[in-house]
Amino acid sequence: MIKTIGILTSGGDAPGMNAAIRAITRSAIANGFNVKGIYRGFDGLINGEIKTFTTESVSNIISRGGTILKTARSNEFTTPEGRLKAFKHMQEEGIDALCVIGGNGSLTGAKVFAEEFSIPCIGLPGTIDNDLDGTDFTIGYDTTLNTIMECVDKIRDTATSHERIFFIEVMGRDAGYLAQNSAIAAGAEAAIIPEDQTDADQLEQYIGRGIRKSKNSSIVIVSESPKCGAMYYAERVKKEYPEYDVRVSILGHLQRGGTPSAHDRILASRLGAGAIQALLEGQRNVMIGIKNGEIVYVPFTKAIQGQKAFDKSLIKVLDELSI
């Protein structure tokens, strides 16, 4: 019988994580559970950084970005010895089930841990990349998308004034949701994303379609990449099209910060309450997702299995609207 639930946030922070912590805590207490907050992710579980949570522990945090539980990526947790330490601290603290808020790596760790020690683990999709399968949206994605849009709006002012091409690099190395949808929202001329990689030269396509025909300035959103990020494309333009004035803006970690949007607060609240409902129903080792507006339970194996299906019709939308 589950009496005490532990909560941790792991991996990269995402706006709305605090709203999820609040929802899990208060929904758990409302249903008769005890709650313990685990600080600094799986590392905190290994090191015993655990505190009892009450409703007051999560007062006034719904509007805060980041995570009050802190977060970390744990190398030690990837080892059997590290996971054994974590399990022993769970036993010492009387924690019977775990709620893990994080992305692909975090839920992979939760899956291994749950299987190894037969612990009920419930995952919440907390990642700005929106790349977990089985859910339409992840916590933090909407806020980050709006942050990028606001930054691009400001950059366009100077791009237009100076007749420049701006390559703007955004997060989402393996998933182009942020780049593609922020490009549509901000009226950018192009988006270079992993899902659109073909044998064709994307840069030549974009230059030929838009800039050469009618535009003196242009915004191109690029998904971060160690090999083909914004700097790579800017250098190519300087060499191959020296007539253009080119600039690069790498938005970096400012994309992760800020007050979560209403959408992310509502999503996190629903998923947090859904996590407790799942435990009440005897569910274990599932991620709480949302599909077509409804809460769903997604097995960890499906949530982390690989590339989430990308709607390629969005590429056509951007192509047509950027002429």
Classify residue 303 by burial, with Cβ atoms within 10 Å: 0-12, 13-18, 19+.
buried
Question: Alpha-carbon distance 176 to 198, whole Å?
Answer: 15
- φ, ψ of residue 96 to 5 degrees: the values are -100, -20
Q: Is 129 a catalytic residue?
A: yes
Residue of 176, 131, 172, 121 lying closest to 288 (CA atoms): 121
**Start-to-end Cα distance in the chain:** 61
Contacts of residue 173, Cβ cutoff 8 Å, sequence gap at least 6? 194, 223, 224, 225, 226
Beta bridge partners of 122: 99, 286
> How wide is the angle at C-alpha 178 spanned by C-alphas 175 and 182, nearest 5°?
145
Name the helix (H) or strand (E) containing 178: helix 177-186
Residue tagged active-site, from 13, 43, 96, 129: 129
Give the active site residues: 129
